[in-house]
Amino acid sequence: MLLEFKQVSKQYGTDTKALTNVNFAVSEGEFVSIIGPSGAGKSTLLRCINRMIDASSGEILFHGVDMLASKKSELKRLRTQMGMVFQHYNLVDRLSVIENVLHGRLGYKSTLEGVLGLYSKEEKHQAFTILRTLGLEEQVYKRCDQLSGGQKQRVGIARALVQNPKMLLCDEPIASLDPNASKVIMDHLRNISTTMGITVIVNLHQVDTALKYSDRILGVNKGTIVYDGHPSGINREQ
């Protein structure tokens, strides 16, 4: 099993219970969408996976290793296997596309501009290959603040992919995009899962999109899992 949640709870402060005894397991290569109303706990759940947020109790196993018990160095290593994609892209706007992508790989070892020389031929070659796959070959040397939202999100995905992750965690990746750009992003995520065998876990508030693209749906409401199964089991009228 790639990822297991066992009795995971998260409380913010003294009285906000964002997650209560959450249990689920994800196998390698699955495309899983997390859906549910605003405030249900979707973002908290996703961010607990790589410990961007620390769960309050329970076990989060990645390849059987307990993330919550991992020390800093171990955690760093595990996190490189979990690429993260954000709603607001989280790019360095004044840097070029290729610089943003390569920095992702090396964990921002430098924030200076003009740092392409720091990276090996192989590293650059891999970055170019990924950018081409995502249809960004024309944008490689553009500054990120000159890109459309959909292009920025593809850069975000490329930055995650150069780490050779086992899993992509995508937190509302299309919430800021128009329908056309959203479709492009979802098609890329689906393709990454199918052709590269990378597990994709994505938070979506668009239920129809989740049903169309996913192998599996995790329905979250009030901090608990209320549905775990095939998209065909979801009643759209609910």
Q: Which residues bind ligand ADP (CB under 6 A)?
A: 12-13, 16, 18, 36, 38-44, 121, 124-125, 128
Toward ligand ADP, which CB reaches closer, 73 or 122? 122
- Report the alpha-carbon distance of residue 42 to residue 34 in Å, rounded: 6
Q: Report in angstroms how near the CB of residue 128 gets to ligand ADP at its nearest.
A: 4
- Closest listed residue to residue 45, CA positions, set 72, 64, 19, 71: 19
Q: Report in angstroms how near the CB of residue 95 gets to ligand ADP at its nearest.
A: 16
Toward ligand ADP, which CB reaches closer, 120 or 180? 120
Indicate if the alpha-carbon torsion angle 67, 34, 171, 1 is positive or negative: positive
Toward ligand ADP, which CB reaches closer, 45 or 211? 45
- Give one DSSP letter per residue of 28-96, joined into a string: TT-EEEEE--TTSSHHHHHHHHTTSS--SEEEEEETTEEGGG--HHHHHHHHTTEEEE-TT----TTSB
Toward ligand ADP, which CB reaches closer, 29 or 68? 68
Q: Report in angstroms how near the CB of residue 188 gets to ligand ADP at its nearest.
A: 19
Q: Report in angstroms how near the CB of residue 102 gets to ligand ADP at its nearest.
A: 10
Toward ligand ADP, which CB reaches closer, 158 or 166? 158
Residue with tokens 């876990």: 201
Structure tokens of 189? 């995520």
Q: Report in angstroms how near the CB of residue 44 gets to ligand ADP at its nearest.
A: 3
